[in-house]
Homo-oligomer: A and B are copies of this chain.
Amino acid sequence: MDMTLEETADDIRSMRVRGAAKISRAAAQAIRDVAMAFKGNSVEDMRNILREAAVTLLGTRPSAVSLRNGVNYTLAPLHDADTNDVESLRKKVSEKADEFIARSHEALKLIGEYGSRRIPQKGIVMTHCNSQAALSAILKAHDDGKDIRVYATESRPWKQGHITARALAEAGVPVTLIVDSAIRHFIDTVDIVIVGADTVTSSGTVINKIGTSVMALCAKESRVPVIVCAETYKFSPRSARGEMVEIEERDPAEVADPGAFPGVTIANPVFDVTPPEYITAIVTEKGLISPYAAFEIIKEFEGEFK
Which residues of A are in contact with B by a Cβ distance under 8 Å? 113-118, 153-157, 162, 165-166, 168-170, 174-186, 188, 202-204, 210-211, 213-214, 217-218, 221-223, 239-244, 247, 255-256, 261-269, 272-273, 275-277, 280-281, 283, 287-296, 298-299
Give the interface SS of chain A, mostly helix, strand, loop or mixed.
Answer: mixed
* CB nearest to A120 among chain B residues: B244
- What are 9 sample pairs from A and B whose C-beta atoms fall under 8 A apart? A155-B181, A169-B261, A170-B263, A175-B264, A179-B211, A182-B269, A182-B272, A221-B223, A292-B292
Instruction: Flag if A188 contacts B223 (CB, 8 Å).
Output: yes
User: Quick one: copies of this chain in the complex?
Assistant: 6
Q: Whole-angstrom distance from the CB of A156 to the nearest CB of chain B? A: 4
Report chain B residues within 8 Å CB of A276: 290
CA distance in complex: A53, B176 (Å): 38
Instruction: Flag if B156 contacts A247 (CB, 8 Å).
Output: no
Choose among B247, B269, B290 the residue that contacts A292 (Cβ–Cβ < 8 A). B290
Instruction: Flag if A214 contacts B223 (CB, 8 Å).
Output: no
Q: Whole-angstrom distance from the CB of A112 to the nearest CB of chain B? A: 10
CA distance in complex: A281, B276 (Å): 11
* CB nearest to A155 among chain B residues: B181
